[in-house]
């Protein structure tokens, strides 16, 4: 019966290619990581320069809103990137070190991170976007148990008036 696993330490055919599938998997992960990192850095630098220099005619409030949107976008883009790359780096480390034992609980943990990226992305969208956050909090305040936990903070304005002889009176 042939060995069908990609983590097997057998050479890839034709015989003059003297490296195994382990090398192919690790090199593929390395190339993908480098390309994603270069693309991400280019994206971040390009957007930051567009916000700060290209929009000279924009007001400070608009620039502040654009920076806030850009930060939210970077966070939302990093969630699937991190949640998908962590399990595969763990898998590559296991393959590279040629361990005979795979910790099943750690393996389950990393791949559950990968499967939960949709939920984490949705929660980040609801918490990072102001109109969504306001709506969700208003709906949560309607639940009797959460009404006290999420009570709106009341703004209290205190005005201080100076005391002079004309506006003070003697208290008997």
Query: What is the per-residue pLDDT for 85?
Result: 83
What was the pLDDT predicted at 154? 65
Q: What are phi and psi of 15, to 5 degrees?
A: -65, -20
Tokens of 35: 């390309």
Q: State pTM to two decimals.
A: 0.59
pLDDT tens for 91-140 read 777 777 767 777 888 888 988 988 888 899 999 999 988 899 999 888 88
DSSP designation for 116: T
pLDDT (tens digit, 9 = 90+) per residue, 148-171? 676 666 666 666 666 666 666 666
Give the torsion sign (CA, 140, 143, 145, 151): positive
Look-up of token digits 């055919």 = 13
Task: Find the radius of gyration of the CA atoms of the chain.
Answer: 28
Tokens 């990137």 identify what position? 81
Q: How far from 117 is each of 61, 89, 114, 130, 140, CA to CA, in Å?
A: 32, 16, 6, 21, 23
Residue 26 CB-density burial (10 A; 0-12 exposed, 13-18 middle, 19+ buried): middle
User: pLDDT tens digits, residue range 17-39?
Assistant: 666 777 777 788 788 888 988 98
pLDDT at 9 over 70: no
Three-state DSSP at 137 gives helix
**Domain positions in the chain:** 21-124
Where are the alpha helices (H) located in the chain, listed in sequence order? 21-49, 60-96, 104-115, 117-128, 130-140, 144-147
Question: So what's the pLDDT on residue 81?
Answer: 84
**Do residues 11 and 20 touch, judged by C-beta distance below 8 A?**
yes
Of the candidates 70, 12, 81, 82, the one whose C-alpha atom is nearest the C-alpha of residue 44 is 70
């Amino acid at each position: 019966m042939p060995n069908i696993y990609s983590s097997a330490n057998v050479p890839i055919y034709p015989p003059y290619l003297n490296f195994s599938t382990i090398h192919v998997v690790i090199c593929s992960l390395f190339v993908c990581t480098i390309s994603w990192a270069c693309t991400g850095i280019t994206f971040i630098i390009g957007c930051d320069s567009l916000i700060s220099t290209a929009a000279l005619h924009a007001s400070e409030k608009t620039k502040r809103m654009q920076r806030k949107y850009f930060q939210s976008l970077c966070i939302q883009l990093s969630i699937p990137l991190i949640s998908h790359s962590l399990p595969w780096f763990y898998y590559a480390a296991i393959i590279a070190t040629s361990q005979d034992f795979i910790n099943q609980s750690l393996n389950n943990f990393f791949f559950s991170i990968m499967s939960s990226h949709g939920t984490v992305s949705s929660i980040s969208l609801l918490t990072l976007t102001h109109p969504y956050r306001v709506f969700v909090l208003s709906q949560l305040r309607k639940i009797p148990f959460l009404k006290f936990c999420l009570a709106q903070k009341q703004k209290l304005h205190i005005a201080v008036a100076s005391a002079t002889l004309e506006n003070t009176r003697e208290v008997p």
